Amino acid sequence: PEFITGFPEPLQLSPSSYWILRFPYIYEDENQIYAPPKEGSRASQHGYLLKGTYGIMDEVKEGIQYAFQTKNPLTLAISGTGHAGMEAAICNLVERNDVVLIGVNGIWGERAADMAMRQGADVRNFSKPAGENFTLAEIEAALAQHKPAILFLVQGESSTGVVQPLDGAGALCSKHDCLLVIDTVASLGGEPFYMDRWQVDVVYTGSQKVLGAPPGTAPISFGPRAVAKIASRKTPISSFYFDMNWLGNYWGCDDQPRKYHHTAPISSIYSLREALALLAGEGLDKSWQRHSRCRDRLVAGLAKLGLHPLAKDPAARLTCITAVRVPDGVDWKSVTAHAMSSHLVEIAGGLGPTFGQIWRIGLMGQNATEERVDRVLDVLAEGLAKSSHNTP
């Protein structure tokens, strides 16, 4: 019998393109934001040597430390998407009856509250309307009122296109004897983030946003105060799969021999390595600037179309995702449907309470280019013209 043919050829990965990007070592000089790769450094000696999976995991760890700007040894990638990072952060830290305070200004705070509730926490919320963030004074007032063990904030609220300023929040948490957990799924690489300098105790992100790798891994890091909270737990961590004691050992974060914990999704981890290497190759500061330039260009172009971001305060607008108010009388769905069917451009609608009221335009990672900004603006203009044409 004849074989059916027509399958694509296997990918020919050239060793040089695969291994050439190396991570800079972070903090070689304490006064620098981060250090660029240096000739002769351990990172540059890796060269073209073929490494086993543990070697790749070690590099991924270095890349994550760079991306979070931290020296924390307990830094690794959870096997799972951003939600897995969120669940891991919460289930390792939270014990029954711990007061967990959550800043809710979109759906991600709500999800974190749901997860903390499932751990038996005494969950308290403080909230802002969609499109706004929290001031340091509001954060401090909530800490003083609720006296939580853990404060959870989202840096990039992707459901509303809002960025949460974090400089100073960690110091407030230390003062009030509370751990600070930050979700950077929709912001890491697109907004400045300094884990150590900002005294963040736990942070996680996702592989598929600014990093642009396939979905499936969630970089995470636990600082010394978070590690101490885990060590002083009276009850076992509720999840075996997300137990940071096991995972830390598996990722070579302690001085014990590595033990099998679960089957590492190695293709996802390799792709995360490449994504981190691309970020390190560009440099965090350049990536932050590129995302910020694209957001500014987009907002300026939207104004010409008579469209306005949901976040009124320009300083509250996230770089990676811009939430745009749908003007009265416009059918939001017909505009997104036109963008997709005619131009293969995906514009998202609102999530949760903002459903039907906003569009969300994501310009992140490799999509954060001026050409993409102009393209989405053209597509929006065309969709709006069509929509007003169709309105009776």
DSSP string, 45-89: HTTT----HHHHHHHHHHHHHHHHT---SSEEEEES-HHHHHHHH
Residue 183 touches ligand PMP, criterion: CB under 6 A: yes
Query: In angstroms, what CA-CA distances link 218 with 40, 174, 175, 224?
Result: 31, 26, 29, 20
Q: Which long-range contacts (CB under 8 A, 24 or more apart) does 120-123 make?
A: 120/94, 120/95, 120/96, 121/94, 121/96, 121/97, 121/150, 122/97, 122/98
User: Given candidates 18, 41, 83, 261, which one binds ligand PMP under the rule CB under 6 A?
Assistant: 83
Q: Using the rule CB under 6 A, which residue among 185, 200, 368, 377 binds ligand PMP?
A: 185
Q: Does 248 bind ligand PMP (CB under 6 A)?
A: no
Q: Which is nearer to ligand PMP, 327 or 349 (CB)?
A: 349
Using CB under 6 A, pick the residue from 156, 165, 192, 365 that binds ligand PMP: 156
> Least separation, in Å, of the C-beta of 289 and ligand PMP?
22
Residue 162's DSSP bridge partners are 157, 317
Query: Under the criterion CB under 6 A, does residue 190 sit at the interface with ligand PMP?
Result: no
Which of 252, 194, 207, 239 lies closest to 93, judged by CA?
239
Do 72 and 65 touch, CB atoms closer than 8 A? Answer: yes
Least distance to ligand PMP, CB of residue 254, Å: 27
The answer to the question of residue 154 lying near ligand PMP (CB under 6 A) is yes
- Alpha carbon distance 369, 282 (integer Å): 14
Widest Cα–Cα separation across the chain: 76
Q: Assign 115 to helix, strand or coil.
A: helix
Closer to ligand PMP by Cβ: residue 83 or 343: 83
Asked whether the beta carbons of 370 and 302 are under 8 A apart, the reply is: no
Minimum CB–partner distance for residue 90 and ligand PMP (Å): 12
For position 165 contacting ligand PMP by CB under 6 A, the verdict is no
Per CB under 6 A, does 215 bind ligand PMP? yes
| Element containing residue 218 per DSSP (H, E) | strand 217-222
By the rule CB under 6 A, 81 interacts with ligand PMP: yes
Selected range binding ligand PMP among 119-127, 152-160, 312-320, 376-384, rule: CB under 6 A: 152-160
Q: Does 108 bind ligand PMP (CB under 6 A)?
A: yes
Interacting span for ligand PMP (CB under 6 A) from 67-75, 82-90, 96-104, 138-146? 82-90
**Of residues 108 and 198, the one with the C-beta less far from ligand PMP:** 108
Q: Considering beta carbons, is residue 203 or 280 the nearer one to ligand PMP?
A: 203
Burial class (CB in 10 A: 0-12, 13-18, 19+), 285: exposed
Give the pair of three-digit tokens for residue 278: 């691309």
Q: Residue 163, interface with ligand PMP (CB under 6 A)?
A: no
Regarding 170 and contact with ligand PMP (CB under 6 A), the answer is no
- Closer to ligand PMP by CB, 55 or 215: give it: 215
Q: Which is closer to ligand PMP, CB of 70 or CB of 105? A: 105
**Gap between the Cα atoms of 113 and 108, Å rounded:** 9
* Residues 156/143, Cβ–Cβ less than 8 Å: no
Q: How far is the CB of 381 from ligand PMP (least distance, A)?
A: 27
Residue 248, H or E segment: helix 244-250
Q: What is the distance between the alpha carbons of residues 319 and 306, in angstroms, rounded to a whole number? A: 20
Should residue 152 be labelled a site residue for ligand PMP when binding is judged by CB under 6 A? Answer: no
Which of 24, 109, 131, 206 is in the footprint of ligand PMP by CB under 6 A?
206
Q: Which residue is nearest to ligand PMP (CB)?
A: 82
Question: Closest Cα partner for 346 from 331, 335, 356?
Answer: 335
The site for ligand PMP, by CB under 6 A, has a size of 13
Q: Which is nearer to ligand PMP, 73 or 161 (CB)?
A: 161
Smaller CB separation from ligand PMP, 115 or 227: 115
Residue located via tokens 């104004």: 303
Residues that bind ligand PMP (CB under 6 A): 81-83, 86, 108, 154, 156, 158, 183, 185-186, 206, 215
